[in-house]
């Protein structure tokens, strides 16, 4: 296995540099072709808003090696990345990290498991890794090594997500708002959502709230045109601003994001509204800055008010809880890395080990046949079993050293010279 991972991420590189190194979808076919053909290698390009990484690899066939170890030149591939984007390599190289062999495997597995993400446990990166692999397959730049590696990366991501709590909870303000609403109500088919205002954050939060499938959505705004626009986008109904008090008295969930300079619902205004309410509790998600609702109306029973700072605290608590699961997720990555290297070593060394074992076994049987022929009639059946067992044990002990050395050398990132030496020492060539 000859594997390199070269790239940059939010950890190493300013966003303005990452933007210049990013690959657009329409650029990927040419990039994959030039990279794989130019370096005679397999290639997968992972390009997201937070990272740009090139995974390049080649295999050394156990029967007929065609490539010397180390022939994938990290500096040349760094130059390819810079040249492709028409940038001087001197401005790119300081931002790049390089992972080789086992470290490259581990790095991809950590990326796929979202352990290397800006927000630990975010689920988007696993899909991005999958898409990068599928694009490379489409562009015919993937061979046996990267096929096996990226398929294993998907398995690692799945294990981290299902066997640890690293992806539990939501970490955006809008999704945290919905999580809170779901703690108050256990069903939404009879609920009414009132949207006040038309801010961008409100539209994103409304998108999450719509997934709850409420009975209806009302939208009100000082501008009737804006109310109509938001209502059309969410399948809701535009309502007159002048009826805000009536709407608050009948709503179950309020999403407010007006951008007004002063609170639009003071405690004095809200008290008669609360007296008119006859249904269940009212949940107010006040994500406006400055705030739209007087915080003193919150009583934790009939009226539950959450503002942007409250929702950010929920988000931070979720993140803190995820951090507790990093260690078991890292253990999965380490376990899967070792398993992948072991599997790949078995695949690469298997033919040589099988032929070596067969050769030793053939010679053992030949020598044993000659010996037992000379002692014919002088041995009991038990004696024959002891002698055959002793020869078999000797063969196994002789083979243990070379096979173990080959496996250990491969896990250390080499093994090519040793594999070739074993062929020559034991005359295993075709």
Query: What positions carry a catalytic annotation?
Result: 49
Q: Which of 319, 386, 37 is nearest to 172 (CA)?
A: 319
Q: Which of 409, 399, 411 is nearest to 419 (CA)?
A: 409
Number of C-beta neighbours around residue 251 at 10 A: 23
**C-alpha distances out from residue 211 to 178, 188, 204, 214, 273, Å:** 9, 10, 12, 8, 28
| Structural contact between residues 254 and 283, judged by C-beta atoms closer than 8 angstroms | yes
| DSSP per-residue letters across 392-413 | HHHHHHHHHHHHHHHHHHHHTT
Distance between CA 132 and CA 257 in Å, rounded?
Answer: 37
Element (H, E) at 254: strand 253-257
Question: Judging by beta carbons within 10 Å of its beta carbon (0-12, 13-18, 19+), is residue 65 exposed, middle or buried?
Answer: middle
Distance between CA 96 and CA 98 in Å, rounded?
Answer: 7
Quick one: tokens of 269? 């205004």
**Helices and strands in the chain: count of H runs, count of E runs:** 16, 10
Instruction: Please list the residues that pair with 6 across neighbouring strands.
Output: 54, 98
Distance between CA 22 and CA 84 in Å, rounded?
Answer: 10
């Amino acid at each position: 296995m000859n594997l390199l991972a070269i790239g940059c991420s939010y950890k190493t590189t300013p966003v303005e540099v990452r933007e210049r190194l990013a690959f657009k979808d329409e650029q990927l076919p040419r990039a994959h072709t030039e990279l794989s053909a130019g370096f005679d290698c397999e290639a997968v390009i992972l390009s997201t808003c937070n990272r740009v990484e090139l995974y390049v690899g080649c295999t050394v066939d156990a029967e007929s090696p065609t490539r010397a170890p180390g022939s994938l030149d990290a500096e040349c591939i760094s130059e390819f990345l810079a040249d492709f984007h028409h940038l001087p390599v001197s401005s790119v190289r300081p931002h790049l990290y390089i992972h080789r062999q086992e470290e490259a495997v581990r790095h991809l597995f950590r990326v796929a498991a979202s352990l290397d993400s800006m927000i630990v446990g975010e689920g988007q990166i696993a899909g991005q890794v999958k898409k990068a692999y599928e694009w490379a397959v489409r562009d015919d730049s993937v061979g046996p090594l990267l096929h096996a590696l990226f398929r294993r990366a998907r398995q690692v991501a799945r294990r981290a997500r299902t066997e640890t709590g690293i992806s539990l909870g939501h970490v955006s303000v809008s999704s945290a708002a919905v999580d809170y609403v779901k703690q108050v109500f256990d069903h939404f088919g009879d609920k009414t959502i009132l949207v006040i205002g038309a801010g961008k954050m409100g539209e994103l939060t409304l998108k999450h709230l719509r997934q709850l499938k409420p009975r209806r959505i009302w939208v009100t705004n000082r501008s009737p045109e804006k109310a109509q626009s938001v209502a059309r986008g969410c399948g809701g109904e535009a309502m007159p601003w002048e009826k805000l008090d009536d709407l608050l008295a009948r709503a179950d969930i309020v999403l407010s994001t007006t951008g007004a300079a002063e609170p639009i619902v003071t405690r004095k205004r809200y008290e008669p509204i609360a007296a008119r309410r006859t249904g269940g509790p009212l949940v107010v998600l006040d994500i406006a800055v400055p705030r739209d609702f007087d915080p003193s109306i919150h009583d934790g029973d009939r009226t539950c008010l959450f503002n942007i700072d409250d929702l950010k605290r929920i988000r931070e608590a979720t993140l803190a809880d995820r951090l507790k699961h990093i260690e078991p997720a890292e253990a999965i990555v380490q376990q899967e890395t070792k398993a992948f290297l072991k599997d790949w070593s078995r695949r690469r060394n298997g033919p040589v080990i099988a032929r070596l074992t067969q050769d030793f076994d053939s010679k053992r049987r030949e020598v044993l046949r000659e010996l037992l022929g000379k002692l014919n009639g002088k041995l009991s059946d038990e004696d024959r079993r002891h002698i055959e067992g002793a020869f078999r044990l000797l063969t196994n002990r002789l083979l243990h050293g070379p096979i173990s050395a080959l496996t250990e050398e491969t896990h250390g990132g080499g093994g090519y010279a040793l594999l070739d030496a074993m062929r020559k020492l034991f005359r295993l060539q075709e």
